[in-house]
Amino acid sequence: MKIDNQGNTYRIWLSRLVMTMVFALIILLLVFVSWFDNPDLPITKYHIVILISVVYLAINWLNYLKRPYFVSYNDQGEMLVVRYYPVSMFTSRKHSIEIPKKQFVKYELKPFLFKSQHYLILHQNFRGKVASYPRISLSAMEKEDREKMLQSLGKYAAKA
């Protein structure tokens, strides 16, 4: 079974781009339109610019805390393969985890961000000990794809 969330990562990139462009246009309009230059108004255009900037920064901070990752899962063949990288403008490091199905021990889901998102942690039997891989954020995966992937991982997990 092959699963990836490429469509969701494109949607995240596009929404960030559109949000940035709309923010810039609103700021430009507010600064150059003289409608808010009326001294009788209790609020100036600079107050509105600051308010919109705070809202924009809050939305971006929340999206940053979600830490969306592109995730590709493949369980065909003798290996479980998970490829992932953060959906970020400044990070281009791509990671890959390849675990032989016979050495896969278990997976863990750890909640984060007020328990609304989850990290996936994979465990492998390596030289007689259980080794853990770095956590992978599943916040950009659709619920159905995440459930399919977890069901597949559960099928290959070692029975205790």
Nearest partner of 121 among 41, 93, 111, 46, judged by Cα: 111
Domain positions in the chain are: 1-160
Q: What is the pLDDT of residues 12-60, one digit of tens each?
A: 989 999 999 999 999 999 888 877 777 777 888 888 899 999 999 999 9
SS3 140: coil
**Of residues 40 and 138, which shows the higher confidence score?**
138
pLDDT at 92: 72
Q: What is the pTM of this model?
A: 0.79
pLDDT at 130: 93
Residue 160: band (very low, low, confident or very high) from pLDDT cuts 50, 70, 90: very low
Rounded CA-CA distance 158/120 in Å is 17
Q: Calculate the average pLDDT of the chain.
A: 89
